[in-house]
Amino acid sequence: MSAPANIRTWVFDLDNTLYPAPALYDEIGVRMTDYIARKLTLATAEAQELRERYFHQYGATVVGLARHHAIEAGDFLRHVHDADHSVLTPDLELRDLIAALPGRRIIYTNGGGGHAQRVLVSLGLDSVFDAVFDIESCGLAPKPQRESYDCFLAASRVEPTEAIFVEDTLRNLEPAHELGFTTALVGSVHPDPKPAYVDHWAVDVKTLLRGLLA
């Protein structure tokens, strides 16, 4: 496995791509449910059901809350992502691998409220990325909506045919591949059969980068 010679930009998802998210996301999930229950005067079970339904329907819970309940998106995103980052520790090997990548390096995430920036600091990766593009950067359009990708490309001036897109979520790679990105899936489960829109697969991001840099 090696990266195509024409790659000029490296685009990374954040959660479950650069780090295993469950330790942090368990708390974020609880904060989401509590926020919804409090704001909409719902029982915990009802709030959790609504949270999950909007996530699957829109790609991000905040979209449904803003659209159907007039929830202020910025307030929701800041509150739910104000989690305990002490569960994260710097990953020096990952930092060195990303620093060795030629060209620009960009985070593209459905998170918001400063979440990406805080996670990068906690992982010791804030110095190796050139930009962060989150759900608030494009009016709450989340991956895998095509509007989100179009907005990302316009804002970042990335040429997809000269970029690689690294994700842990299959459904977010298909639109990227259609736009011309080289795509890479990371995760412990190998898709079988591997979809045509996945160019590379590795068990985790460090294994992927070691192979692409070889």
> Which DSSP symbol is given to 196?
T
pLDDT digits (tens, 9 = 90+) for 114-147: 999 999 999 999 999 999 999 999 899 999 999 9
Q: Could you tell me the pTM of the whole model?
A: 0.93
User: Residue 54 to residues 14, 66, 98: CA-CA distances in angstroms?
Assistant: 21, 10, 33
Query: Who's near 8: CB < 8 A, 6+ residues apart?
Result: 102, 103, 104, 159, 162, 163
User: Residue 34 to residues 22, 50, 68, 85, 140: CA-CA distances in angstroms?
Assistant: 18, 12, 18, 19, 21
Structure token digits, residue 214: 């070889």
pLDDT digits (tens, 9 = 90+) for 46-105: 999 999 999 999 989 999 999 999 999 999 999 999 999 899 999 999 999 999 999 999
Q: How many CB atoms lie within 10 A of CB 67?
A: 14
